Amino acid sequence: MPKHVHAIIDNKTAAAKTANKKRAYIIIVAAILSALVAGLLLVCFFTLDMLPAYTYMVSAPNIGAGSVDASDARQIINVKMKIRVPVFSKKDSVYLFLGDKNIAVNSLTDAWGKTKEAFISEEGIITIPVSRGSTTNIDYDVSVSLPAKHGSRGAVTDIYTVFDGDQTFLLPAEFNLLSEEGVRNAVGRLNFAFDFPNNWEKIIPFTHLSDPGWMDIYSITKNAFVAGEFYLDYSTQSGLKVYSLEHQAADQQTTSQLTPEDMAGFDSLYAYYLELFGSAPEGFNIVLLPPDRQIIGGSGTGVVAASFDPNSIKDWQLLSHRMFHAFYDTVAPYINVHVEPNMWLNEGLATYYEKLAMDALPEPLKLRLGADFRSQMALTFSQYLYMRLKEPFQYNFAPMDEERLTSSSMTEFLHYTAAPLIVMLFERESANNGNPPDSLLRYCLDSSAFEGRVTALEAALDLLGDEGVGFCDDYLLGMNIPPLWYLEAYQPSSEEVLEALNYIETMLASWRKTEIPEFEADVLSMEELRELLASSDESGIPVLSDETGSLVKSFSPELYAIIKRYYQRAQQMGFDLDDRELRLKMQ
């Protein structure tokens, strides 16, 4: 064989050996890498605990299926919820809070459509077994038009849909257990999608939340979710947007139903709270619903939606109240604010400032509404005295006893009637001690992050100097009537006083009726009040000392006459005035 052929064969043999060595090397390296990857996956499998993702697809199935209006029983929201558990997750169960939500579950299945079992505790907590890499689908309907304090909680009509997150979404039960750590370890991401008509404006506070904490879930529960034939009525560079339903004028051009005065009012309120808090929510949307039916569709840091009559001072005050909460929760997003015994103070501040902010409205609007801060607080003090004197066993309690209250009506009275008066008295005493205005609010904002703090007591001790201990004993831990008798000078007309007393009587009676079905409101007509005032004699009110009776009579002759008539009737009917059930027995 020629030498050059041998050389070629030798070269090919050497090349083959080299290739085999490279191939073997690659195989060894690949095997090592595969082993490393497998080991890494194994380590991840046993050490990582990735959190599930919840996705909500929301629709209103009855829209377009015939006329649906705000009084229709078909006001249903459908939610298709998907729970995806990562492969690298140790969770064997997820917990959702059902509570008293008006939810009907249509199906609960796995990724292949097979029905899954779930368990519901007496507390309304749903336990759903899950596994690594699993998907759980929950299809459920929500009746959104349930009665609430300020109207129906949402609505589904052919031109708009509105609801709040609390009633609509099944959320981690750890939120209701007030556990920040629990929420952080419950869910890694929340996604929201909405299937509404394409021509509808969608005013949605958010479409997703990553690594949500307690306040993120709280924001979901409070915010309004809105879609419909709305248009942007008014906006500012600072982030305020106001929407209302489209209105077609005679020339078919879309026009606003709000006056320039109204728009200036929205701007003034927003500017007031921006100055008070120093910063604002990142985009704040107000959605004005028609005033022909009372609806509150949610109130959070992103979207507020409610029935609104621009000529109603109550509607302006409610809007102001909701703005306060939105700004406060933006500046101080902490659990501590929303749990007893600090909740009453937070609501008291909101109710105090809802009225104080009316002074920031343009003068023509204030005149139109009859908005006057001291006059409104005088009416609140009248309501406070009325309920305390008429039902002492129900409404005589210390604010710091909030955790021990046994009735929704008691909580309602504390939060929105008693608490703003305590705030007003505190501000007065604080100013007398040399502090600037809004000192209590500033203190609360600075203290909200500290869990476990009893803010009202500490504020009194830190801001009121030598009077701090007495203030705590008398008005926070005690049941003394706050001495706001000077508001007598700002009392409005007898008609307005009676309207305010009848309002709180009716409102608190509606709460009592949920607990005592036979409970009825005890209201008075203006004609009856005039007769009482005309026939008044010099006798006092038997349950009051002469000094207190004199203060009440001087502050409000109308209130005095009504309370006096109540106890005179009780005596005529032969009832013991110290009977805890007196109010119910006199129906």
Cβ-Cβ contacts under 8 Å for 531 (sequence gap 6 or more): none
pLDDT attached to residue 72: 56
Could you read off the pLDDT of 385-407 as tens digits, one per residue? 999 999 999 999 999 999 999 99
The whole-number average pLDDT for the span 217-226 is: 96
The Cα–Cα gap between 52 and 134 comes to: 10
Residue 250 pLDDT more than 50?
A: no
pLDDT class of 253 with cuts at 50, 70, 90:
very low
Cβ neighbourhood burial of 199 (10 Å; 0-12, 13-18, 19+): exposed
What's the chain's Rg over C-alpha atoms? 32
The whole-number average pLDDT for the span 344-352 is: 97
In this structure, what token pair is assigned to residue 314? 């109550």
pLDDT class of 64 with cuts at 50, 70, 90:
low
Q: Report the percentage of the chain scoring pLDDT > 90.
A: 73
Cβ-Cβ contacts under 8 Å for 258 (sequence gap 6 or more): 233, 234, 242, 244, 288, 310
- β-strand pairing of 208-210 with 119-120: unpaired
Cβ-Cβ contacts under 8 Å for 191 (sequence gap 6 or more): 53, 54, 55, 56, 207, 208
The whole-number average pLDDT for the span 41-70 is: 73
Query: What is the SS3 assignment for 35?
Result: helix
Could you read off the pLDDT of 114-144 as tens digits, one per residue? 999 999 998 899 999 999 999 999 999 999 8
- Of 194-208, 250-264, 280-294, 363-377, the range with the lowest mean pLDDT is 250-264
Beta-bridge mates of residue 95: 127
Using alpha carbons, select from 128, 329, 131, 295 the residue that is nearest to residue 217: 329
Maximal CA-CA distance, the chain: 145
The runs of H, that is alpha helices, within 145-213 are 165-168, 173-176, 180-184
In this structure, what token pair is assigned to residue 3? 């030498």
pLDDT attached to residue 252: 42
CA distances from 401 to 273, 440, 477, 565 (A): 30, 20, 8, 31
Q: In this structure, are residues 97 and 214 in contact, taking their beta carbons and an 8 Å threshold? A: no
The Cα–Cα gap between 377 and 357 comes to: 12
Domains of the chain: which residue ranges? 1-47, 53-333, 343-585
pLDDT attached to residue 28: 74
Hey, what amino acid is at 261?
Answer: E
User: What is the CA angle 307-312-314, rounded to 5?
Assistant: 80
Residue 48 pLDDT more than 80?
A: no
pTM: 0.89
DSSP symbols for 403-463: GG---HHHHHHIIIIIHHHHHHHHHHHHHHTTPPTTHHHHHHHHHTTSTT--HHHHHHHHH
Torsion angle, alpha carbons of 313, 314, 318, 321, to 10: 70
Q: In this structure, are residues 174 and 186 in contact, taking their beta carbons and an 8 Å threshold? A: yes
pLDDT class of 249 with cuts at 50, 70, 90:
very low
The whole-number average pLDDT for the span 472-491 is: 96
Has domain 53-333 been given CATH number 3.40.50.10420?
Answer: no
76-84 sheet: strands from edge to edge: 103-110, 135-143, 76-84, 53-59, 189-195, 208-210
